[in-house]
Amino acid sequence: MSQSIHVIAPHNLPVDKAMGRVLAWLQAQDGSDSRVKSISTNIDNVAHAITLKLVAYGYPVTATFTVNPSHVELRTSEATDVIEGAAMWFQQGRLQKQLNDALK
């Protein structure tokens, strides 16, 4: 099964401001779901990227947010089995909406 989360959220903000909004959104999410535990966060201000290593619903996941001049792109590592893939598929729409709202 080849399933991952891939979200593109458009924005018309300066890159630094968009990066700040993504970081604020991520901080607001921290601890909001007991089934998701953050392991580490790496912020690259030069490449305008945020990489998270986390355990979501019992599965290790790497999520990378890349802030571009016109959009933010979220990509995750691929699912390792059908159940994890289904969980990712289910979460993708929710993440798209939340990221769009954060960038308004």
Question: Residue 85: its pLDDT value, please?
Answer: 86
pLDDT of 1 higher than 70: no
Question: How many CA atoms lie within 13 Å of 36's alpha carbon, on the beta-carbon side?
Answer: 15
In the prediction, which pLDDT does 30 show?
A: 83
The two beta strands, 59-67 and 71-76, are: antiparallel
Q: What does the alpha-carbon distance between residue 90 and residue 51 come to, in Å, rounded to a whole number? A: 21
SS3 7: strand
Which pLDDT value is given to residue 56? 87
Rg (CA), the chain: 13
How is the chain split into domains, by residue range? 6-102
pLDDT at site 32:
86
* Helix %, strand %, coil % of the chain (to 5): 35, 35, 30
Question: How confident is the model at residue 87, as a pLDDT?
Answer: 85
pLDDT digits (tens, 9 = 90+) for 52-97: 999 988 889 999 999 999 999 999 999 988 888 888 888 899 999 9
pLDDT tens digit sequence for 23-44: 999 999 888 888 889 999 999 9
Question: What CATH number labels 6-102?
Answer: 3.30.530
